[in-house]
A = this chain, B = another copy of it.
Amino acid sequence: MMAPDPIRLSLRMYDLLIHNAWMVTVNAQGDVIPDGMIGIHGDVIAHIGPTPPDAPLPAARETIDAGQGIVLPGLVNAHTHLPMTVFRGMADDLPLQAWLTDHIFPAEATHITPDTVHWGTLLGCAEMLLAGITTCCDGYFLEDAVALAVAMTGMRAVLGQGVIDFPAPGVPDPAENVQTAAAFVRQWKHRSPLITPSIFCHSPYTCSDKTLAHAKAAAADEGVLFQIHVAETREEITADGGRPPNGSLTARLAQLGLLDADTLLVHGVWFSPTDIERVAQNGCGIAHCPESNMKLAAGIAPVPAFLQAGIPVGIGSDGCASNNNQDLLREMDMAAKLHKVAGGGPTAMPAPQVLAMATRDGARAIGLGDHTGTIEKGKQADLVILDSTHPAMCPIYNPVSQAVYAGSGDVVRDTIVAGRVRVRNRTLVDSPIDGIMKQVRAIGRAIGKPPIHRPIADTEKGSCS
């Protein structure tokens, strides 16, 4: 056989061509191409560059005119609990313990089944695709049902089967928690190019040292990501019963062998400078969930210090019961503004840095940095087109700050995952959204309607009248 002809190779027709947009690459140089063009072969970005002014567009099976909008790498939601989409708005404005023990835990015990997990996951994925999220990193129980549903939507995902030292949906006997998670990983390891299995330990306060070490060992054996909630609330630090050596939660985790580059720490709100140094030295990623942390009044994570220390930090929406949406464009805006007012000043966490967290750095934090998170040749074709006809997208001085500060899921026109158009002109291409919502509404009715939320009386709220 002859070697392939390089000229013919370069002329191979693209499967998909996107042009007429600001291309925000989020590459290491932060290149933005004002009138750019992306050529895609199969699921891979084959070309990114300026559109030649005086030449016809290259041939492609499909050409998408981005209408002078903004193209970003597909957003990476670094922390979700997809099935909890069925709990959206079930319990709000409550003290943390009442929220968890009176509402979330009982609802999970009663209502989380393979069926509710299926529909909640489908709705969560639909919401995320419509908001420009092409990848999420999930952790929950009955994760096999999550994986089946995610696979139906065509999203990219890292999916972690939950491990906790209590009976959980699908794992009635906690003694089987780690082996159930390991079995999930083996089952999904080579099943779909878009789904990467993982193990998700709930937290250091709901898992024994033995469970934590076994679960991490199982993840390491399979070479997959290990996820864990850490230091979300102040109580978690102060009430840790003297267990951690040196009074530090991360020292305990390090001693158990949990901290390495294949571990994603979620929250880290109460990390001390020593914790941050330890996390950085061990190469862990962090998922920052600003809206959830704010809504539950958990605290403000020291994200500028994470970044300063060299930790890859992603942004996560967290579950829908503590947010109550899964819109990473809004989450970026919230993150940038929160850390400015929380002491960083107006130059803290500028738009390009926040966008990198929601794309490139989030992808690295969840172990997919080689595959997604930037618009670069050879990367997966995970892309979002922001709609230049939305009023909030006018005028455009700077596409990066436009996306971060003016955008929301509302401005997403098209979403492409692995070269496949999943949202076209604000509509899901192959997902029966009406049917999904009908099912989730029925689940909501079964979970039950709490009493109508009444505002506190005028006198209490300080009416002047």
The residues of B that contact A325 with a CB separation of less than 8 Å are 392, 405-406, 408
- The bracket for how many chain A residues form the interface is 35 or more
The residues of B that contact A130 with a CB separation of less than 8 Å are 391
The residues of B that contact A174 with a CB separation of less than 8 Å are none
When C-beta atoms are compared, the residue in chain B nearest to A434 turns out to be: B389
A362 at the binding interface (Cβ < 8 Å): no
| Chain A, range 283-319, C-beta contacts under 8 Å to B | 283, 291, 293-300, 306-312
A90 at the binding interface (Cβ < 8 Å): yes
Contact among B396, B409, B454 with A30 in the assembled complex (CB-CB below 8 Å): B454
Q: A445 CA to B127 CA in the complex, in Å?
A: 34
Q: A336 CA to B93 CA in the complex, in Å?
A: 9
A167 to chain B, nearest CB (A): 26
A169 at the binding interface (Cβ < 8 Å): no
A10 at the binding interface (Cβ < 8 Å): no
| Chain A, range 237-292, C-beta contacts under 8 Å to B | 261, 280, 283, 291
Binding stretch for chain B, among A139-147, A209-217, A456-464: A456-464
Q: Is the CB of A397 within 8 A of B294?
A: no
The residues of B that contact A346 with a CB separation of less than 8 Å are 93-96, 99, 295-297
Contact among B298, B352, B406 with A453 in the assembled complex (CB-CB below 8 Å): B352
When C-beta atoms are compared, the residue in chain B nearest to A403 turns out to be: B89
A172 at the binding interface (Cβ < 8 Å): no
| Chain A, range 429-465, C-beta contacts under 8 Å to B | 433-434, 437, 440-441, 443-445, 447, 449-450, 452-458, 461-465
Q: Is the CB of A394 within 8 A of B95?
A: no
Contacts A394-B88, A397-B444, A450-B398 given: A464-B297 contact, CB under 8 Å?
Answer: no
| Copies assembled | 2
Q: Is the CB of B441 within 8 A of A337?
A: no
Q: Is the CB of B395 within 8 A of A88?
A: yes
Contact among B311, B344, B405, B444 with A92 in the assembled complex (CB-CB below 8 Å): B405
- Among A261, A293, A400, which residue has the most Cβ atoms of chain B within 10 A? A400
A357 to chain B, nearest CB (A): 9
Q: Is the CB of A452 within 8 A of B32?
A: yes
A9 at the binding interface (Cβ < 8 Å): no
Q: Is the CB of A310 within 8 A of B89?
A: no
Q: Is the CB of A461 within 8 A of B353?
A: yes
Q: Is the CB of A291 within 8 A of B337?
A: yes
Q: Is the CB of A352 within 8 A of B401?
A: no
The residues of B that contact A330 with a CB separation of less than 8 Å are 330, 333, 408
A101 at the binding interface (Cβ < 8 Å): no
Contact among B392, B398, B440, B465 with A364 in the assembled complex (CB-CB below 8 Å): B465
A450 to chain B, nearest CB (A): 6
A→B interface (CB under 8 Å): 26, 28-32, 34, 86, 88-90, 92-96, 99, 123, 126-127, 130, 261, 280, 283, 291, 293-300, 306-312, 323-325, 327, 330, 333-334, 336-338, 340-341, 344-348, 350-353, 355-356, 361, 364, 369, 389, 391-392, 394-398, 400-402, 405-406, 408-410, 433-434, 437, 440-441, 443-445, 447, 449-450, 452-458, 461-465
A sample of 8 cross-chain residue pairs with beta-carbon separation below 8 angstroms, ordered by A number, consists of A30-B454, A95-B347, A123-B394, A295-B340, A296-B346, A312-B463, A369-B465, A396-B444
What are the 8 A-B residue pairs with the smallest beta carbon separation, nearest first?
A395-B444, A352-B455, A410-B410, A294-B337, A30-B455, A93-B350, A310-B462, A127-B391
